[in-house]
Amino acid sequence: MIALLMAGMFAFVACDKDDTKNLNKDEAQQQITNAEQELIAKSGEIVATDGYKIQEYFATQLPSPFYSKSNVLKSVVPSNFQKAYELTRESLLLENPEIDFYFEHFILWFFNDVKGTWNWTPNGWTHETTPTDNVVVKFPYPAGNASNNVTVTYYDFSSTLVDGQTVPTDIKVKIEYNNTQVFTLAYSATIANIEKFSTKVDVTFSPFAISNEESIDVSVNDKVLYSKKFTFKKDGKLFYSEDANLTITILNEESADVLITAKMVIGNLEFRLKIEANTNEFETGNPNDIVLLSLYTTGGDKVGDFVFVEEERDWVLYFKFNSGEQVKAETLMPLVSERFFSFIDDLFSNISEN
């Protein structure tokens, strides 16, 4: 049941709109179909860009020039703090599970130790000590290309000490392919201490732009505060977003009060969620008493609600049209439903590790 609660969670925030129209079943199904089709279309467009393909190739097909440094990093950085810098790849609008981004590959904690130029050769990486203020990585793409026609440049790096460890507060990255810029990333962090910090990442790979902001605050006794704002645009127009706020108030070792408000937009659909309960209710309560989950158009028309139906001792998520008719959500909107579960899993994963 917790997974189902999660599935609704990251998707929505309760907000009132006046003078909304209730769509009939045909109108609602058309809106849902449009969103499903947009997921498929955008996924195809994303993977066709040079920026996407090269960042994936660099992260998954080439051995890292910084391999030894990255291994050391994992042993010295507190796991909960490191997690904040590893951007959740599953948060993205990806219909195909094989589509993935590797933004964390470009946030070098050990920038000052690897400055200079790294060139790929048939025998592996070579290293030159210049430039002294940037990290430059050159390699061929596709793999059989005769020359190193891709240049990845890491620059404008700054850092601070947290618990005696150097952690990045700023870094920028650009990828050039055949002398044309195809990918950029700008990362920044605001760090009060290991218990209170926020991160921001802006990425472009024409014609797409991604922005991800997250903040975590566990500095107040018996409180966990988490927020996230994620947008994905094409040609400046928003087609996917996530906005969520979570507050956990710890009552004792076995119990906590949870409040979540969230919103997710896919195309012309806006999913709104509110969860307010004690953690004990997640295991024993009726999720319909805990979760308010509704679907609207971005213009404010109501498409329907989500309800939980108990089937063979499991709670199954259903979509209820405004007429009252119900159908399994995964049947009506398989791709959108998958987004729900991924969104919620991401949120609870962040919280559980802090």
**What pLDDT does residue 295 have?**
94
Binned at pLDDT 50, 70 and 90, residue 74 comes out as very low
Mean pLDDT of 89-117: 71
In this prediction, residue 344 carries a pLDDT of 59
Dihedral (Cα; 9, 311, 96, 340), 10-degree rounding = -10
pLDDT band with cut points at 50, 70 and 90 for residue 100 = confident
Nearest to 308 by CA among 259, 275, 351: 275
Q: Which amino acid is at 288?
A: N
Nearest-10 crossing angle of helices 2-9, 334-352: 100
Does the structure show a pLDDT above 80 at 86?
no
State the pTM of this model.
0.81
Residue 320 has a pLDDT of 96
Mean pLDDT, the chain, as a whole number?
Answer: 82
The least confident of 235-249, 286-300, 334-348 is 334-348
Cα(22)–Cα(69) distance, rounded to whole angstroms? 57
**Residue 15: pLDDT over 50:** no
- Could you identify the residue written with the tokens 């130029």? 117
Lowest-pLDDT choice from 78-82, 169-173, 192-196, 209-213 = 78-82
Q: Whose structure tokens read 């926020």?
A: 198
Q: Where are the beta strands (DSSP E) in the chain?
A: 116-121, 124-128, 135-139, 150-162, 165-177, 180-193, 196-205, 208-217, 223-234, 237-252, 255-266, 269-278, 291-297, 302-311, 314-321, 326-328
Evaluate if residue 14 carries a pLDDT over 50: no
Residue 285 reports pLDDT greater than 80: no
| pLDDT given for residue 38 in this prediction | 86
Residue type, 235: D
What's the whole-number mean pLDDT along residues 275-282? 85
Confidence label for 175 from pLDDT (cuts 50, 70 and 90): very high
Higher model confidence: residue 323 or residue 2?
A: 323
Q: Which residues contact 185 (CB under 8 A, 6 or more apart)?
A: 103, 106, 172, 173, 174, 201, 202, 203
pLDDT at 203: 94
> Over the stretch 246-263, which tens digit does the pLDDT of each residue have?
999 999 988 889 898 999
Mean pLDDT value of segment 233-240: 92
110-158 per-position pLDDT tens digit: 899 999 999 999 999 999 999 999 999 999 999 989 999 999 999 999 9
pLDDT tens for 294-305 read 999 999 999 999
Bridge partners for 174 per DSSP: 153, 184
Confidence of residue 198 (pLDDT cuts 50, 70, 90): very high
pLDDT, average across residues 13-29: 75
- Model pLDDT, residue 78: 43
For residue 13, name the pLDDT band (cuts at 50, 70, 90). very low
Six token digits for residue 182:
């195809």
